[in-house]
A and B are shown apart, each in its own frame.
Chain A
Amino acid sequence: MMASVDPITTEIIRNAFISIAKDMNATLIRSAFTPVIYEGKDCSVALIDAQGEVLGQSLGLPLFLGNLEICVKLIADEHGWDYFKDGDVFYMNDSYMTGTHLNDSTIIMPIFWRGSRVGFAASRAHWLDVGAKDPGTPVDSHEIYQEGMRWGPTRLYEDGKPREDVIDLLRRNSRFGEATVGDMNAQVAAGRTGEIRMRALFDRFGEEIIWAARDQIFKQTEQLERDAVANLPDGTYSADGFLDDDGLGSDPLPVKLELTIAGDAMTIDLAGSAAQARGPVNCGFTQTIAAARVAYKLLICSEVSPNGGSFRPLEVTAPERTIFSAQEPAACGWYFSSLGLLIDLVIKALAPVMPEKAAAAHYGDSMVITVAGLDTRNDDEFYLMIEPTTGGWGASDSSDGESSLINNVNGSFKDIPVEVFESKYPLQLLSYGIRQDSGGAGKYRGGNGTYREYLVDADSDLFLWFERSKTTAWGLFDGQNGLPPLVVVERPGEEKLELLKVNGVKVPAGTVIRSRTGGGGGYGNSYDREPEAVRQDVLDRFVSIEHARSAYGVEITSDLNVDSKATAKLRSA
């Protein structure tokens, strides 16, 4: 007989699960060593029950939605649940298990209370360098062995004590050994926070009440989601697009999905998407599930905190050995580009039946720039600057898209302040702003992309991973597409280079790197946009006078007023 629990206690326990996860994440972020974690928030934590279901989760990165528990279950599948002992701390980064690249460290700690295992505290965080052939994450790898050291589930702690030999191995296999161990400590500290809080919760309510509350919470969540899915018309919806290439100069790679709503269930099938690629654009299926969950969450019960009852109506399928279901030895360094596109495509597929919830596509990818070299200001110490770039988001049926906002697989990311950036790296920023005319025109305008321009002060190497130039942000319901990204490199005394992806081009001191990210798609016909709204955009220089004319059919005079007559003529032409 299950213990019964009153609704108030259930609510208090639900809040406790969520706040424990938040506390864990706060510990992780505040004690981390690399900006990728403390500013980029490339991390997530979860509090998980004894059977591997999520109780509470706190994400730095939406893309890590609901994949930590899969890692726990994978370990249990292989070794059984009794494999987890009190005082253990596990580390793993195998892309085919975790789904992501080797840089992402997954750390799992079983939590024991009065001698029995009651759950897990788990976290994932991006480590700057795990000993790949090139610093950070190589752009041109074609086997996982080039991307760093690959670990199955391995104990970092046993019986509560660190295994110094194993930790030493981690340290020796990174270009930034100390920071790696620092970030590992931050993850372990996050786990400890979870453990302490979880035990306190058990002390207060006891096992029976907590599990009864959990069952209630899961049941409610599942029912809500089933109701929401059942509200959508049954049918099959599809969408497709292309990745530019695999990073090694391949042809564009198709991403194709078929989404079926049948009653209260949703299936996303990825058949027809590109086969496992030679370049590092593959990901493990675990991560594909997580990405599909992000898309689902953007549309279904968005405001409810995810837990073990979430996603039960969703099934994701893909044939073996595609870019979404990679197997050894596929390279996975840039595992997320196809996933950002997949998320956008799910929204596109469902837009006709959810026009008020959907939005036009966003600029699409993390747009990562990496500069590495010896810092001449600092005794020639090796430095590695990696940062994603913001861009434009898609418009919706009630508002313009946002400009210069981080992409859909990221979320809590914060850009590095110029003042911090310049003190940290031998690079200066010349400008950082909102890119005019880059958002797709529409009744509601797509958000504009971003420009960020760097001056290199010490001879260095440049690595770029800019995507979505072929399938740019599409408009919806007659809205226009946003502009693609572009990076221009001006080296002293040499021809300009126009690049999107590159692995280690030499950039001597004095080089200027000008990055431009894409804009979001527009929503609705641009000729339906209020001329006054266009004028305001021109006043703010978000839209040029020429673009106002060509894309919106609005004539703006030199003193920045709407020429109504000319506008009427343009729009009726």
Chain B
Amino acid sequence: MTDNTIRVATDVGGTFTDLVCIEVNAATGESKVVTAKSDTTPPDFERGVLNVIEKAGINPVTIDFLAHGTTVVINALTERKGVRVGLITTAGFRDTLEIARGNRPDFFNLNYKKPVPFVPRYLRRELSGRMSYKGDEQKPLELDALKAILDDFKDEGVEAIAICFLHSYANANHEQQAAEKVRELWPEVSVVASHQITREWREYERSNTAVLSAYVQPAAERYLRRLDNGLKSKGFVGSPYIMQSNCGVDSLQSVSRIPITMVESGPASGFWGAAELGKLIGEPNVLALDIGGTTAKCSLIEDCKVRIMTDYWIERDRTSAGYPIMVPVVDLVEIGNGGGSIAWVDDFGKLHVGPQSAGALPGPAAYGKGGTEATTTDANLWLGRINPAYFCGGDVAADMQAASAAIESVADRLGVDANEAARGIVRIANNNMVNALKLVSLNRGFDPRDFTLVAFGGGGSMHAVALASELGVKKVVVPAGASVFSAWGMMLSDLRRDYFVTKLADLSDGAAAGLESLFADTEDEARTQFAAEGIDFDAISFLRYGKFRYQNQEHTTEVLIDGTVDEANLAQIAADFHETYEREYTYRLDTPVELVGIHLVASAEVGKLTMAKLPIGDPDASRAIKSTRDVDYALEGTHKADIYDGEKLSPGMSFTGPAVIEESGTTVVIHPQNRVEIDGYGNVHIHI
């Protein structure tokens, strides 16, 4: 038993709590994979986690590394299930949260409404005191008024307090004083100050971040505490690592302080998995695509590096400005197009797919649970891309009658036949996804043809080849275990923290010392934090990015800085900036370059999984063929396709499309002429 390393990842989703366990034999390197699923158990989500561990037959005592991802934070936000928050801010600016930025994205709506602030005006209170933009104290903080404010908050049932003062990114002293005083006067209340979350400027975004963090803090803290206690009571000796939105994991203790950093942890682990997979198979440049039941998400990975930004918003769309959350989140584009997205015809006879989804209940019409509207999944069934006899891994008998009725109804409204309608649904869904993939590639100056598409999630591999052909991508990789890929990504994650600090400086002679000391100070801060959690100094590695722009511009471009900053390499940094800028914007200028801040990535490995490669065998894949059937490839017509049993494919096997690989939880659609190879890790490589 002691020879083996057992790693477990659990992921709490809206409907199910998933588990993946990988047990690696230290002597042979062989690994055994166990997956399990159990119901999610709101509001006591930790119960579902303990259940799924038990269901998988894992004794918690034996677990060496446990990673955990949860949608608890994003759900609390979107379902408005947080606590009542009071905001304390700089005198004269309590309306920052409500004015937001004053914009009106839905131009032609006379009744445009801003997103309602999470704190009403009467719970937004002010303290006198002022910092300058340089961080100098202009007016000392007056804390005398605080007592009365807190008394009011108590009367009003406030359970968490957010503090955000102007220019706290430059000097956090006033926020620190106020937070300390709150803790002294009212030790039970949950309190967060904006500088604890971010050191970047823009007061509305920072205030809203602090408020939303406070809003979810009590519930998230409680959840994490119960999870920890529950695991301990079952004998788990370590402490779980919690998945973050920045593609890393962090300690439970640290996440409990600022739980808002978990907000997009779900997609983050999948994208991290894609980057790690790329490293493993020698594909440093990856377009990662995750198609689930309701949405498709994509992200671009360049040179094995995920892109982390702090420009994240919830509930932002064409008709609403949304709410900013200024925490490090993997750069992703998400659209309302998944397997359950509903196809509909508008009043003007135009076909749309999504963003409304049939969800888990009733689900696609073919679930036979009363759904009458056609979804992408129904169209895929109709076209023979999904096997009705092996629907949901054979767990569900596809209700083809319901699916046909749903497709026919779309066809009637469009005035075409059912085949045309089903193809139309798939084409529109694909087109939406192509646009999303263009947003993360072409729009940032990257040519998709230089990338490999890694597709995962329940529906990724069904659409990936069509998307890749359209974008000119030459290869698609469907990872082994694509449907539980996010959990796999979690096990490969490092302990990671992203520090963003705003600091204006010209990138001119003499600037090196200032920039170097900013990096050095931030690195010290990171080391101190890591050390407090028992992480060895030597285990910590850093990546330094500078955020630059041409003087007087607003938007910045991030440049990776290699090693110590000194006068000698300033020119190189500037050259890198010009090059990156030109790629993104098609031109460069002979204008002074300005530093707007830094982005420091601190990471340390914590019990990361290493994958073992299996020997390559016979290329003949014929023994994995289980049948043939007609598959409609939409634009390429109908072809008789070989149907492969995914379980029987082994390293080295090779074949050519038209084909479909069926596996529990995943269907891989391979178009005519595509050449397929299975690599030493069981990943499916499709050459287009």
Partner-B contacts on A (CB < 8 A): 6-8, 11-12, 14-15, 19, 23, 26-27, 29-35, 38-39, 41, 59, 62, 178-179, 182, 185-186, 188-189, 192-193, 197, 220, 224, 294, 297-298, 302-304, 347, 357-359, 390, 393-394, 396, 398-399, 402-406, 410-415, 417-420, 422-423, 429-434, 450, 453, 539-542
How far is the CB of B466 from the nearest CB of chain A, in Å?
A: 13
How far is the CB of A13 from the nearest CB of chain B, in Å?
A: 10
Contact of A415 among B93, B102, B415, B589 (CB under 8 A): B102
- B132 contacts which chain A residues (CB < 8 A)? 422
Contact of A15 among B415, B435, B589 (CB under 8 A): B435
Other contacts beyond A220-B349, A414-B101, A419-B202: 17, CB < 8 A: A7-B351, A15-B432, A32-B554, A178-B591, A297-B107, A359-B110, A398-B111, A406-B102, A406-B103, A411-B104, A413-B102, A413-B104, A417-B201, A422-B167, A423-B504, A434-B95, A450-B99
Nearest residue in A to B92 (C-beta to C-beta)? Answer: A431
CA gap between A420 and B103 in the complex, in Å: 17
**A-B pairs with lowest CB-CB distance, top 10:** A431-B92, A433-B95, A414-B101, A540-B121, A390-B102, A423-B133, A8-B424, A302-B108, A359-B110, A62-B107
Q: Is the CB of B443 within 8 A of A192?
A: no
| 13 contacting pairs across A/B (C-beta < 8 A) | A26-B443, A30-B585, A178-B552, A182-B550, A189-B585, A189-B587, A294-B107, A359-B110, A393-B112, A399-B111, A411-B104, A420-B202, A433-B95
- A31 contacts which chain B residues (CB < 8 A)? 553, 555, 585, 587
Nearest residue in A to B424 (C-beta to C-beta)? Answer: A8
Contact of A182 among B92, B112, B552 (CB under 8 A): B552
Asked if B599 is at the interface of the complex by the 8 Å CB criterion, the answer is: no
Asked if B96 is at the interface of the complex by the 8 Å CB criterion, the answer is: yes
Interface centre among A38, A220, A347, A415 (most CB of B within 10 A): A415
CA gap between A33 and B190 in the complex, in Å: 42
Interface centre among A27, A29, A297 (most CB of B within 10 A): A27
Q: Is the CB of A430 within 8 A of B203?
A: no
- A178 contacts which chain B residues (CB < 8 A)? 552, 591
Q: Is the CB of A33 within 8 A of B553?
A: yes
Given A30-B585, A406-B102, A410-B104, is A432 in contact with B96 using a C-beta cutoff of 8 Å? yes
Contact of A433 among B92, B204, B555, B587 (CB under 8 A): B92
Interface centre among A31, A403, A419 (most CB of B within 10 A): A419
Contact of A434 among B98, B110, B348, B555 (CB under 8 A): B98
CA gap between A186 and B584 in the complex, in Å: 12
Q: Is the CB of A8 within 8 A of B428?
A: yes
Q: Is the CB of B98 within 8 A of A7?
A: no
Q: Is the CB of B201 within 8 A of A420?
A: yes
Q: Is the CB of B110 within 8 A of A298?
A: yes
How far is the CB of B507 from the nearest CB of chain A, in Å?
A: 16
Nearest residue in A to B350 (C-beta to C-beta)? Answer: A11
- B587 contacts which chain A residues (CB < 8 A)? 31, 185, 188-189
- A358 contacts which chain B residues (CB < 8 A)? 110
Asked if B114 is at the interface of the complex by the 8 Å CB criterion, the answer is: yes
Q: Is the CB of A12 within 8 A of B105?
A: no
Q: Is the CB of B122 within 8 A of A539?
A: yes
Q: Is the CB of B99 within 8 A of A182?
A: no
Contact of A390 among B93, B99, B203, B442 (CB under 8 A): B99
Q: Is the CB of A19 within 8 A of B552?
A: no
CA gap between A11 and B353 in the complex, in Å: 11
Q: Is the CB of A357 within 8 A of B93?
A: no
Given A33-B552, A220-B348, is A417 in contact with B424 using a C-beta cutoff of 8 Å? no
* Residues of chain B from 587 to 603 with CB closer than 8 A to chain A in the complex: 587, 589, 591
Q: Is the CB of A32 within 8 A of B553?
A: yes
Given A7-B424, A406-B104, is A396 in contact with B550 using a C-beta cutoff of 8 Å? no
Interface centre among B99, B132, B427, B591 (most CB of A within 10 A): B99
Asked if B314 is at the interface of the complex by the 8 Å CB criterion, the answer is: no
How far is the CB of A314 from the nearest CB of chain B, in Å?
A: 14
CA gap between A62 and B108 in the complex, in Å: 8
Count of interface residues, chain B, beta-carbon cutoff 8 Å? 64
Q: Is the CB of B166 within 8 A of A418?
A: yes
How far is the CB of A124 from the nearest CB of chain B, in Å?
A: 16
Nearest residue in B to A19 (C-beta to C-beta)? Answer: B435
Asked if B169 is at the interface of the complex by the 8 Å CB criterion, the answer is: yes
Q: Is the CB of B586 within 8 A of A192?
A: yes
CA gap between A189 and B585 in the complex, in Å: 6
Q: Is the CB of B554 within 8 A of A12?
A: no
Given A406-B102, A415-B102, A541-B122, is A11 in contact with B586 using a C-beta cutoff of 8 Å? no
- B122 contacts which chain A residues (CB < 8 A)? 539-541
CA gap between A404 and B114 in the complex, in Å: 10
CA gap between A303 and B424 in the complex, in Å: 23
CA gap between A434 and B121 in the complex, in Å: 10
Q: Is the CB of B93 within 8 A of A412?
A: no
* Residues of chain B from 64 to 116 with CB closer than 8 A to chain A in the complex: 91-96, 98-99, 101-105, 107-114
How far is the CB of A517 from the nearest CB of chain B, in Å?
A: 11
Asked if B29 is at the interface of the complex by the 8 Å CB criterion, the answer is: no
Nearest residue in B to A420 (C-beta to C-beta)? Answer: B201
How far is the CB of B203 from the nearest CB of chain A, in Å?
A: 5
Q: Is the CB of A432 within 8 A of B99?
A: yes
Nearest residue in A to B585 (C-beta to C-beta)? Answer: A31
Q: Is the CB of B443 within 8 A of A15?
A: no
Q: Is the CB of A542 within 8 A of B99?
A: no
Asked if B120 is at the interface of the complex by the 8 Å CB criterion, the answer is: yes
Given A399-B113, A406-B102, is A189 in contact with B586 using a C-beta cutoff of 8 Å? yes
Asked if B431 is at the interface of the complex by the 8 Å CB criterion, the answer is: yes
Q: Is the CB of A414 within 8 A of B553?
A: no
Given A182-B550, A189-B586, A358-B110, is A412 in contact with B103 using a C-beta cutoff of 8 Å? yes
Q: Is the CB of A11 within 8 A of B102?
A: no
Contact of B93 among A29, A298, A399, A433 (CB under 8 A): A433
Nearest residue in B to A394 (C-beta to C-beta)? Answer: B110
Asked if B669 is at the interface of the complex by the 8 Å CB criterion, the answer is: no
Q: Is the CB of A30 within 8 A of B555?
A: yes
- B102 contacts which chain A residues (CB < 8 A)? 390, 404-406, 413-415, 450
How far is the CB of A479 from the nearest CB of chain B, in Å?
A: 14
CA gap between A192 and B550 in the complex, in Å: 20
How far is the CB of A11 from the nearest CB of chain B, in Å?
A: 6
Given A390-B102, A431-B92, is A357 in contact with B110 using a C-beta cutoff of 8 Å? yes
- B120 contacts which chain A residues (CB < 8 A)? 540
CA gap between A390 and B442 in the complex, in Å: 35
- B98 contacts which chain A residues (CB < 8 A)? 403-404, 434
How far is the CB of A325 from the nearest CB of chain B, in Å?
A: 25
Interface string of B415-459 (1 = CB under 8 A from A): 110001001100110011001001000110000000000000000
CA gap between A188 and B584 in the complex, in Å: 14
Asked if B398 is at the interface of the complex by the 8 Å CB criterion, the answer is: no
CA gap between A127 and B101 in the complex, in Å: 22
CA gap between A59 and B106 in the complex, in Å: 11
Given A432-B92, A541-B122, is A38 in contact with B553 using a C-beta cutoff of 8 Å? yes
Asked if B464 is at the interface of the complex by the 8 Å CB criterion, the answer is: no
Nearest residue in A to B347 (C-beta to C-beta)? Answer: A224
Q: Is the CB of A542 within 8 A of B121?
A: yes
Interface centre among B91, B204, B431, B555 (most CB of A within 10 A): B431
Interface centre among A31, A417, A450, A541 (most CB of B within 10 A): A31
Q: Is the CB of B99 within 8 A of A404?
A: yes
CA gap between A11 and B586 in the complex, in Å: 29
Asked if B227 is at the interface of the complex by the 8 Å CB criterion, the answer is: no
- A412 contacts which chain B residues (CB < 8 A)? 103-105, 107
- B554 contacts which chain A residues (CB < 8 A)? 32, 35, 38-39
CA gap between A431 and B91 in the complex, in Å: 7
Asked if B661 is at the interface of the complex by the 8 Å CB criterion, the answer is: no
Q: Is the CB of B103 within 8 A of A414?
A: yes
Nearest residue in B to A432 (C-beta to C-beta)? Answer: B93
Interface centre among A29, A192, A431 (most CB of B within 10 A): A431
How far is the CB of B413 from the nearest CB of chain A, in Å?
A: 11
Q: Is the CB of A411 within 8 A of B105?
A: yes
- B552 contacts which chain A residues (CB < 8 A)? 33-34, 178-179, 182
